[in-house]
């Protein structure tokens, strides 16, 4: 390894830094993974025992890539660097809890349940408590599971989540708290853990048992954590509990890319790292290997007005390239047509899969999807069911799950669902009989349901086998094949191929527990996206993180869409929206286009209302962008003037209705209003509103939530 020639100065400094706490602030596209890989390889090269290194990431794919690349640098054979403990927080927690399950109070072990199983358990708790019967306003079990998960990750009450994000559910807050308590009790009674429990129970293990804590602090002399800005509070506490006495904790991340607060991640963790670990060396990676300098100038400007942050200035050796374009369609409707024209122009230079259209929320792409269909431009949206979440895969895995944990109710319910005339309630009674060892009840049910005896005999035969996943899965698939054909007659061959793939996966495991854990512990964010050749990419900004394209278009950069309406009311949310825009813009390598509609179409009123460009756009120096306006034909037309972010003044003092036709256009009138005269106000009847235009005769056009745009005399408004 030639460290000095392979790395830039900042990377070299991070790779060769002495012992002690180290924080690497890695700007977008700055070679973060390369830095971690080289430091990992250098530690081993200097004689550090690989088994004493703990590498924590947010996906298995990330850790495997790092370990594989480090092995190649060191000239090791095999796929990954042997000995290093590398994986996700949850996988590490699972391994530790499995090792110390008796200490934690699980003498017979435990089973990890996935989201679908959690939903099912929550549904049973709801039924047991008699909640929501006949009440259509009561949330579905999947949404209850989501609320409980958010409350765990944010470490607050379910009612607090409801009051902030789902206020319409406030009448059910007390019942949902009862369901959360019942769900926790049901998990404990059946030796079950969900995805979130793993971290909190590991924390409890380390806090309450000093000997266990000291075992891990002695075992790992070096801890390396990737994407530290995405950690939640319990993950940060786990790092402090595991931190070795040597102080060798390396955190790598970018505070400017902390965008997952809705999952419980907090930017405070990376900002507070030097305070938590005194003596921290802070190294900034600012050389960007992805984007051109004109794009980086804009991304640097986005962060200029951020609150608490690590100051950094991204730069590139790619100094050539066009300035980002600021595209101003007449409305959010005509934006779609203008975007299609721009996409066709870009497609003459790059293949479609190298072009991405990003947006803050999924609904913002609907109009564009229609226009793409009309233009016969193929596109893809990332998403779909995970392999391990497909129904037929879960059905087959239920058999070995029962073998591994006879107290697993979700697995029993799936197995028994294929026995005729046995529903969920009967299945739970049978499972309870198994738990209590009530053979008489089991024999009675078997006489009534002949196929039940066959199922119990089959499960007993699996339990008698050595716990090798390959042979067990082979028998389970053979047993389940007739049920598969009955349940999925339309696509039986495709699903059977999936089971064959599952069997192939199982053959690579030596432990049944490990297979079942991996099928459950796979991160919800594990990247399963595969770019399809010659397909345009449509994606939310959150889903785009970690990806890059030659050309990126960003839609709806107006207030209340980006930043979102919700974010405009809280400083911390607004700061996260700023970081979200930074992430979006840094996905672009060569071209960046920012769409700022001049009006938004109000579908209820049938009119177009003027709108403010995004707060973040208004902050940008005009010299960083090239202005492009929409012509009456829908084509982008470059402008020689500097960007003007003032919203158009409505014709005749009212919002103009869009003309009829296949594509409606909301055309602005030339006069414009000084943005300093716009803002928020209050009215005695309509409440709080936003002034969107100043009109002649001392009148204002004000948009009142729930009432829409109103023309009001200024004397009747109280400015904020």
Structure tokens of 238? 């786990």
Nearest residue to 664 via CA among 611, 710, 593, 603: 603
Please list the residues that pair with 594 across neighbouring strands. 326, 554
Rounded Cα–Cα distance for residues 481 and 479 (Å)? 6
Structure tokens of 646? 């003032």
The answer to whether 508 is a known ligand-binding residue is: no
The answer to whether 307 is a known ligand-binding residue is: no
Strand pairing category for 111-112 and 192-193: parallel
Please list the residues that pair with 626 across neighbouring strands. 325
Other C-beta atoms within 10 Å of 569: how many? 9
Adjacency order of strands within the sheet including 679-683: 708-713, 699-704, 687-695, 679-683, 718-719
Residues in CB range of 177: below 8 A, 6 or more apart: 157, 158, 159
688 SS3 class: strand
The answer to whether 29 is a known ligand-binding residue is: yes
Rounded Cα–Cα distance for residues 32 and 53 (Å)? 18
659 SS3 class: coil
Rounded Cα–Cα distance for residues 57 and 89 (Å)? 7
186 SS3 class: helix
Q: Are 430 and 437 in contact (CB under 8 A)?
A: no
The answer to whether 27 is a known ligand-binding residue is: yes
Nearest residue to 635 via CA among 601, 671, 663, 603: 663
The vertex-583 CA angle with 579 and 587, nearest 5°, equals 165
The vertex-144 CA angle with 140 and 146, nearest 5°, equals 120
Residues in CB range of 373: below 8 A, 6 or more apart: none
Cα distances from 39 to residues 13, 24, 67, in angstroms, run 10, 12, 11
Half-sphere exposure in the Cβ direction for 104 (13 Å, CA):
27
The answer to whether 588 is a known ligand-binding residue is: no
Structure tokens of 389? 């979440």
The answer to whether 28 is a known ligand-binding residue is: yes
Residues tagged in the binding site annotation for ATP:
26-33
Residues tagged in the binding site annotation:
26-33
């Amino acid at each position: 390894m030639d460290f000095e020639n392979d790395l830039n100065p900042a990377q070299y400094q991070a790779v060769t830094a002495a012992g002690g706490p180290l924080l690497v602030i890695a700007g977008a596209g700055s070679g973060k993974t390369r830095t971690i890989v080289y430091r990992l390889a250098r530690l081993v090269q200097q004689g550090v025992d690989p088994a004493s290194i703990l590498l924590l990431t947010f996906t298995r794919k990330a850790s495997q890539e790092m370990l594989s690349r480090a092995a190649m640098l060191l000239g090791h054979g095999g796929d990954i660097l042997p000995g290093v403990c590398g994986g996700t927080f949850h996988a590490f927690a699972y391994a530790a809890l499995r090792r110390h399950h008796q200490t934690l109070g699980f003498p017979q072990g435990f089973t990890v349940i996935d989201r679908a199983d959690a939903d099912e358990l929550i549904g049973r708790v709801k039924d047991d408590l008699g909640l929501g019967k006949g009440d259509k306003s009561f949330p579905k079990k999947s949404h209850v599971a989501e609320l409980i998960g958010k409350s765990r990750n944010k470490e607050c009450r379910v009612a607090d989540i409801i009051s902030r994000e789902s206020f319409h559910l406030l009448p059910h807050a007390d019942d949902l708290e009862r369901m959360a308590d019942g769900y926790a009790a049901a998990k404990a009674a059946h030796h079950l853990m969900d995805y979130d429990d793993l971290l909190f129970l590991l924390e409890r293990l380390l806090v309450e048992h000093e000997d266990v804590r000291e075992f891990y602090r002695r075992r790992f002399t070096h801890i390396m954590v990737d994407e530290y800005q995405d950690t939640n509070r319990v993950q940060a506490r786990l790092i402090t509990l595991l931190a070795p006495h040597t102080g060798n904790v390396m955190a790598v991340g970018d505070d400017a890319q902390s965008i997952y607060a809705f999952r419980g991640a907090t930017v405070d963790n990376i900002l507070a790292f030097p305070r938590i670990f005194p003596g921290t060396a802070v190294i900034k990676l600012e050389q960007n290997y992805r984007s051109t300098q004109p794009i980086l100038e804009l991304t640097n400007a986005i962060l200029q007005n951020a609150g608490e942050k690590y100051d950094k200035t991204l730069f590139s050796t790619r100094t050539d390239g066009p300035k980002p374009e600021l595209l101003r369609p007449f409305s959010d409707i005509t934006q779609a047509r203008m975007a299609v024209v721009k996409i066709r122009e870009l497609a003459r230079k790059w293949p479609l899969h190298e072009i991405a259209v990003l947006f803050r929320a999924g609904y913002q792409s609907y109009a564009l999807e229609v226009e793409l269909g009309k233009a016969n431009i193929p596109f893809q949206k990332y998403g779909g069911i995970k392999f391990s979440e497909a129904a037929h895969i879960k059905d087959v895995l239920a058999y070995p799950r029962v073998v591994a944990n006879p107290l697993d109710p979700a697995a029993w319910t799936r197995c028994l669902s294929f026995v005729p005339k046995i529903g969920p309630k009967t299945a739970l009674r049978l499972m309870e009989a198994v738990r209590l060892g009530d053979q008489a009840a089991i024999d009675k049910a078997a006489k009534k349901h002949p196929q039940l005896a066959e199922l119990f005999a089959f499960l007993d035969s699996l339990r008698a086998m050595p716990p090798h996943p390959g042979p067990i899965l082979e028998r389970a698939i053979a047993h389940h094949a007739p049920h598969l054909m009955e349940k999925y007659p339309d696509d039986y061959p495709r699903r059977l191929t999936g089971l064959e793939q599952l069997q192939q996966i199982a053959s690579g495991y030596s432990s049944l527990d490990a297979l079942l854990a991996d099928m459950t512990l796979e991160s919800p964010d594990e990247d399963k996206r595969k770019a399809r050749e010659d397909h345009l990419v449509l994606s939310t900004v959150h889903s785009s993180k970690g990806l890059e394209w030659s050309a990126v278009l960003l839609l709806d950069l107006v207030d209340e869409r980006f930043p979102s309406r919700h974010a405009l009311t809280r400083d911390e949310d607004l700061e996260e929206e700023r970081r979200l825009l930074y992430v979006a813009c840094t996905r672009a390598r060569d071209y960046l286009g920012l769409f700022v509609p001049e009006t938004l179409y109000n579908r209820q009123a049938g009119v177009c209302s003027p709108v403010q460009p995004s707060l973040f756009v208004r902050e940008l120096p005009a010299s960083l962008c090239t202005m492009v306006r929409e012509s009456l034909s829908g084509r982008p037309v470059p402008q020689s003037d500097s960007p003007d972010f003032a919203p158009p003044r409505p014709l005749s003092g009212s919002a103009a209705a869009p003309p009829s036709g296949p594509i409606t256009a909301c055309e602005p009138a030339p006069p414009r209003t000084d943005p300093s005269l716009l803002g928020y106000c209050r009215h005695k009847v309509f409440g709080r509103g936003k002034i969107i235009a100043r009109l002649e005769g001392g009148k204002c056009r004000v948009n009142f939530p729930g009432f829409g745009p109103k023309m009001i005399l200024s004397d009747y408004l109280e400015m904020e």
